[in-house]
């Protein structure tokens, strides 16, 4: 049975797990790169540096997104839903997605496959942005409703 | 912009805000929104109740003022 209280708890736990995985990924990045890409692929020092810079930038933005998601979720639990602060958080999340998109796009000149990840990040950013526009309209309607006597 | 002159009519009728709010069935907070010109809309039912209790016409309560700072002119 669907329960919105439990659903928000699941979302909060999932966000914490996501943040923990990002931190673990950043700490274990050299090992992960070695496992997934192999030593032979990273003989080019320029490519290696670009890969590290891009992934650490993305790690930072992912942590920021996790923090913003938690702020959003805690606001929802406090019944503060149609609020300008939530619109602001959603806007920051979309900007973070576009920043990740830009980082992977730049990495694409060293590692061609990252263009695909860049496209995915841009698409997620777009979805969040449209949701933000929707939320903004809902906040406007609520404000108008609240100020109708 | 539309200016709400409820307080002027209240003074004329020597009625308190609380009494008017109670008579027309809205909260004091909502009446305060109306009096401070923060309201974005007013229901016909509320307007009717105010006019009935204050024995006046809608034109006595609502007044149009030319104002460039109006939120409706900004759009």
Q: Which residue has the higher pLDDT, A95 or B40?
A: A95
> Which residues partner with B62 through β-bridges?
B4
Q: Using DSSP, how many helices (H) and how many strands (E) does chain A show? A: 5, 0
Q: How many domains is chain A partitioned into structurally?
A: 1
Q: Which residues of A touch B (CB under 8 A)?
A: 143-144, 147-149
pTM for the predicted model, two decimal places: 0.78
What are the distances in angstroms from CA B74 to CA A146, B33, B63, B67, B68? 21, 21, 20, 11, 8
Residues of A in contact with B41 (CB under 8 A): 144, 147-149
Residues of A in contact with B38 (CB under 8 A): 147
Tell me the average pLDDT across A109-136.
94
As given in the structure block, the two tokens for residue A68 are 């913003």
Percent of chain A surpassing pLDDT 90: 70
Q: Which residue has the higher pLDDT, A69 or A30?
A: A69
Banded model confidence at residue B75, pLDDT cuts 50, 70, 90? very low
Percent of chain A surpassing pLDDT 70: 98
Residues of B in contact with A149 (CB under 8 A): 26, 30-31, 33-34, 39, 41-43, 46
Domain ranges, ordered by start, for chain B: 2-73
- Distance (Å) from the alpha carbon of B59 to chain A's nearest alpha carbon: 17
- Distance (Å) from the alpha carbon of B12 to chain A's nearest alpha carbon: 22
Fold type of domain B2-73: 434 Repressor (Amino-terminal Domain) (1.10.260)
Domain that holds residue A57: 4-148
Which pLDDT tens digit goes with each residue over B11-63?
998 999 999 999 999 999 999 999 898 898 999 999 999 999 999 999 999 99
Look up the ipTM and state it. 0.71
- Distance (Å) from the alpha carbon of B45 to chain A's nearest alpha carbon: 10
């Amino acid at each position: 049975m669907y329960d919105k209280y439990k659903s928000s708890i699941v979302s909060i736990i999932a966000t914490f797990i996501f943040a923990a995985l990002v931190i673990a990924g950043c700490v274990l990045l050299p090992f992960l790169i070695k496992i997934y890409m192999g030593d032979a692929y990273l003989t080019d020092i320029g490519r290696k540096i670009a890969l590290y810079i891009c992934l650490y930038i993305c790690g930072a933005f992912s942590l920021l997104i996790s923090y913003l998601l938690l702020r959003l979720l805690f606001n929802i639990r406090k019944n503060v839903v149609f609020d300008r602060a939530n619109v602001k958080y959603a806007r920051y999340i979309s900007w973070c997605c576009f920043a990740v998109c830009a980082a992977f796009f730049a990495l694409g000149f060293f590692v061609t496959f990252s263009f695909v990840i860049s496209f995915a990040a841009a698409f997620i950013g777009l979805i969040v942005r449209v949701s933000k526009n929707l939320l903004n309209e809902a906040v406007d309607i609520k404000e108008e409703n609240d100020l109708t006597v | 912009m539309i200016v709400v002159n409820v307080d002027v009519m209240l003074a004329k009728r020597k009625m308190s805000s609380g009494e008017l709010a109670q008579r027309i069935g809205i909260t004091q907070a909502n009446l305060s929104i109306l009096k401070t010109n923060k309201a974005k809309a007013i229901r016909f039912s509320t307007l009717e109740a105010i006019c009935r209790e204050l024995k006046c016409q809608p034109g006595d309560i609502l007044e149009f003022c030319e104002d460039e700072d109006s939120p409706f002119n900004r759009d």
